[in-house]
Structure 1
Amino acid sequence: MTKQAKSPPRPGRRVRGSSTGRPVMALLDLLGRRWVLRILWELRDEPLNFRDLQAACGGISPSVLNTRLAEMRDTRLVETIQDEGYALTKWGRELLSHLTPLTVWSEKWAKTLG
């Protein structure tokens, strides 16, 4: 029996944690997939080709990177740019800007934990 590829989470479809697929739950399901946040982070400044992105992620296998990039293209967070590789879309950049305050908060929180 072959393993069927799972489609990326989408609003309106059942996703992890939500049978109704509320948009926020679909997003959290996508962001909770291994390597997605790291790929977003590594593409924050400039487009990267596949090899450079793989090296920047440090340890991601080519098959997993291909899968994540396909999911992120399908959900319009990443796009392929001819001769440059992969880049964040407008939606990907906007998402990253919304995640930045979490970084600030998490650093304050970490200090309270010692």
Structure 2
Amino acid sequence: MAETPAPGRPVRGSTTGRPVMAALDLLGRRWILRVIWELHQHGGPIGFRDLQRRCDGMSSSVLSTRLTELREAGLAAPTPESTWHLTPLGTHLVTAMGPLLDWSRVWAAQQGSPDTDTTGPNPS
């Protein structure tokens, strides 16, 4: 299994591990944004199976890997009841992604593509 990207360690696209490159490496992994979004949308702790259902089509092994990466990155954490939630840092990331969501809607409009999602991104 590949190592979880972290600032200060070499990552895809950066031998120095600049923080922004480490973040982009982590966020560019398949399904990671979807897991973050579903944890955010749920608004509270969510169990593994429920999270898997919300991430239609994701295998349990991939979800397990992504949750481990998010835990190691400090963005999500398990509870004693074996559910998962975003940490304050994970919530901060979702807030920071707001301007990107706004930009993507402008981009979609300029490309003639309707904005079909009024609740937020579906980053799978």
TM-score greater than 0.5 by the shorter chain? yes
5+ residue gaps, structure 2:
113-124
Structure 1 residue matching 2:46: 3-state secondary structure: coil
Q: 2:65 aligns with which of 64, 67, 74?
A: 67
Show the 5 A alignment for 1:1-114: 5-44=1-40, 45-83=43-81, 85-114=83-112
Identity within the alignment, %: 52
- Structure 1 ranges of 4+ moved more than 6 A: none
* Shift of residue 84, structure 1, vs aligned partner: 5.8
Write out per-residue CA displacement over residues 46-104 of structure 1, whole angstroms, 9 at most, x where no aligned residue: 22100000000111100000001001101100000122600000100000100012111
Partner SS, residue 97 of structure 2: helix
Query: How many residues get paired?
Result: 110
**Secondary structure at 2:81 match in 1:** coil
Taking structure 2 as the reference length, the TM-score comes to 0.86
User: Higher relative contact order by CA 8 Å / sep ≥ 6: 1 or 2?
Assistant: 2
Calculate the aligned-residue CA RMSD, in Å: 0.9
Conserved 8 A contact 1:43-1:86: yes
Measured in 2, the distance between the counterparts of 1:46 and 1:83 equals 13
